Amino acid sequence: MLEPLGDLTAAQTQVALVVCAGLVALLVIAFDTTWRVARNVVTIAHEGGHALVAIMTGRTMTRIRLHSDTSGVTLSKGRPTGPGMAATAFAGYPTPPLLGLGAAALVAGGAVPTMLGLAIMVLLGTLVLIRNVFGVVSVVLTGAVVALVIAYGSVTTQYAFACFVTWFLIVGGLKTVLEMAQKRSRLQRRGAPTSDPDQVERLTGVPAGAVVALFALVGVISLILAANLLLAWPPLP
């Protein structure tokens, strides 16, 4: 059970933790120094999304690489065209906000330990596919933080951390879409861009601009639904 903070009731404590976790996530994302480090977590989710959809569509995963500039690449074997390849190319950017929305549903349903345990499982699954040292270090450090919260955090600490992760994945995912759109705009002036939306356009014929807009829409809808879940539900039992 959440412990009331000061003179706050349990319900007020829950709302305060949700709001404070969101503000901390915004601060981490807003400042370049912290974002440069924390962005690796979004990249892990992004590349994990590519990998998961590749496996689900029957492609053979070969490796994931995470780079120190917070970029990443996921390679798989299979047909170079077709629905499977298109779905794999599309999956990266929607994955962080959708994971955040899933986390919000678990937190709102009182399943914070389950949410944190699933986070460890996802990280372990990603670690198996990592093929460079920086990637291994990034995933291990991220998993270590989650493991420390599970092992030593109080119920209130775990709840606040889970809310932070929810906000961070959704808002951080939205920021990566904005960064990609800006970078893509610059590359268009120099030649053919190679972003995920441009790959989707070549595979499906759907304009890359529309794909970018769809990525942003997924993030915005995830943010609205997650806020409703975390703020509208009754206090956790």
Number of residues that this document lists for the chain: 237
Determine what percent of the chain is predicted with pLDDT higher than 70.
91
Rounded Cα–Cα distance for residues 26 and 65 (Å): 27
Rounded Cα–Cα distance for residues 81 and 86 (Å): 7
**What averages of pLDDT result for each successive group of 10 residues across the chain (237 residues)?**
59 85 96 95 95 92 90 88 92 96 93 95 93 94 96 93 97 95 73 79 92 96 94 59
Q: Which residues contact 167 (CB under 8 A, 6 or more apart)?
A: 21, 22, 25, 26, 100, 226
The pLDDT score that the predictor gives to residue 231 is 87
Rounded Cα–Cα distance for residues 217 and 65 (Å): 27
Rounded Cα–Cα distance for residues 161 and 7 (Å): 22
Residue 158's H or E segment, with its range, is helix 155-190
Number of helical H runs and strand E runs in the chain: 9, 2
Taking only the tens place, the pLDDT of each residue in 66-111 is: 998 888 998 888 888 889 999 999 999 999 999 999 999 999 988 9
Report residue 131: phi and psi, to 5°. Answer: -130, 20
Q: How far is CA 32 from CA 35, 37, 114, 134, 136, in A?
A: 5, 9, 32, 20, 23
Residue 45's H or E segment, with its range, is helix 32-56
Rounded Cα–Cα distance for residues 154 and 113 (Å): 11
Residue 42 CB-density burial (10 A; 0-12 exposed, 13-18 middle, 19+ buried):
buried
State pTM to two decimals: 0.92
Residue indicated by tokens 């956790």? 236
In this structure, what token pair is assigned to residue 6?
A: 């000061």
